[in-house]
């Protein structure tokens, strides 16, 4: 619970900080703090540029701590499961591009607002390609210690993805629904004609 409060406070502070004018006269952060924040931002950017955009999953060991935890809405995931999900996304959407819209670092926390764009042109784990163009925005907060990502909190609108896929497939679905009664009618007529032909033969 304390972690959640801390993350929420950090996100609010991040957005307040970004909306402030540089002329507020606030004291600048010490050079050491700026250096750490810059390094943490660079680590965060590697996730988007190298892993998610370029598909270089081998660098995950350089970026993530071995005891990394992704705090999902209903359960947590370790590094292996987290990277398996990233691989699945890149496989299903080969042209996936993650754009960083906003990044802010403070202490050991980095907040990133991102936009994902791509097209589902490949099948993945038995799920066929839909050809749907996808676009969504999300926010990720990472805790980075000694240059390694140790914890993650990510939120995005999953329903938006479903809506985009369904919207893309709606005409196909309508076509199938319209064709179904015709196929049933033809099948029933065929079966009846076969039975009638057998009766005549007898």
Say what the pLDDT of residue 18 is: 46
112 in the same domain as 173: no
Where is average pLDDT lowest: 10-19, 42-51, 99-108? Answer: 10-19
198 in the same domain as 121: no
Whether 163 is in a domain gets the answer no
Say what the pLDDT of residue 73 is: 87
193 in the same domain as 108: no
103 in the same domain as 56: yes
CA-to-CA distance for 82 and 35, rounded, in angstroms? 28
pTM for the full predicted model: 0.67
Share of the chain above pLDDT 70, in %: 66
**Which residues does residue 64 pair with via DSSP β-bridges, in sequence order?**
149
pLDDT value at 84 more than 60:
yes
In this structure, what token pair is assigned to residue 103? 């990044």
DSSP for 60-111, please give it. Answer: HHHHEEEEEEEE-SS-EE-HHHHHHHHHHHHHHSTT-EEEEEEEEEETTEEE
90 in the same domain as 16: yes
65 in the same domain as 132: yes
Q: Which of helix, strand or coil describes residue 153? A: strand
Whether 101 is in a domain gets the answer yes
Higher local confidence (pLDDT), 199 or 42: 42
Q: What is the CATH number of the domain that holds 125?
A: 3.10.450.50
pLDDT value at 25 more than 80:
no
pLDDT value at 167 more than 70:
no
Where is average pLDDT lowest: 1-10, 113-122, 181-190? Answer: 1-10
Whether 164 is in a domain gets the answer no
CA-to-CA distance for 148 and 40, rounded, in angstroms? 8
140 in the same domain as 188: no
* Mean pLDDT across 16-31: 49
173 in the same domain as 150: no
193 in the same domain as 117: no
119 in the same domain as 46: yes
**Which residues does residue 10 pair with via DSSP β-bridges, in sequence order?**
none
Look at residues 151, 79, 90, 148 and name the one whose alpha carbon lies nearest to residue 116.
Answer: 90
Domain range for 195: 169-202
Say what the pLDDT of residue 24 is: 43
Q: How confident is the model at residue 146 (pLDDT cuts 50, 70, 90)?
A: very high
Share of the chain above pLDDT 90, in %: 50
194 in the same domain as 138: no
Report for 142-146, 170-174, 186-190: range of highest mean pLDDT = 142-146
143 in the same domain as 68: yes
- What are the E-state strand segments in the chain? 64-71, 76-77, 97-106, 109-119, 133-145, 148-156
pLDDT value at 130 more than 90:
no
Whether 45 is in a domain gets the answer yes
CA-to-CA distance for 50 and 44, rounded, in angstroms? 10
CA-to-CA distance for 90 and 47, rounded, in angstroms? 13
What is the total count of domains within the chain? 2
Whether 27 is in a domain gets the answer yes
Whether 161 is in a domain gets the answer no
Say what the pLDDT of residue 199 is: 62
pLDDT value at 85 more than 80:
yes
């Amino acid at each position: 619970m304390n972690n959640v409060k801390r993350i929420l406070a950090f996100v609010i502070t991040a957005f307040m900080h970004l909306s402030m004018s540089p002329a507020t006269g606030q004291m600048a952060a010490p050079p050491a703090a700026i250096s750490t924040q810059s390094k943490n931002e660079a680590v965060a950017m590697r996730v988007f540029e190298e892993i998610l955009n370029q598909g270089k999953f081998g660098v995950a060991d350089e970026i993530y701590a071995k005891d990394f935890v992704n705090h999902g809405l209903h359960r947590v995931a370790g590094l292996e499961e987290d990277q398996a999900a990233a691989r699945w996304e890149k496989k299903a959407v080969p042209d996936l591009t993650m754009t960083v819209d906003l990044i802010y670092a403070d202490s050991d926390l980095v907040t990133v607002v991102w936009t994902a764009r791509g097209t589902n042109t490949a099948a993945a784990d038995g799920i066929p390609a839909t050809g749907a163009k996808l676009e969504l925005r999300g926010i990720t907060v990472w805790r980075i210690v000694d240059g390694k990502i140790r914890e993650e909190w990510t939120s995005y609108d999953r329903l938006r993805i479903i809506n985009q896929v369904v919207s893309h497939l709606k005409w196909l679905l309508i076509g199938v629904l319209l064709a179904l009664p015709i196929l049933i009618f033809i099948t029933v007529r065929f079966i009846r004609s076969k039975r009638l032909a057998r009766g005549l033969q007898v």
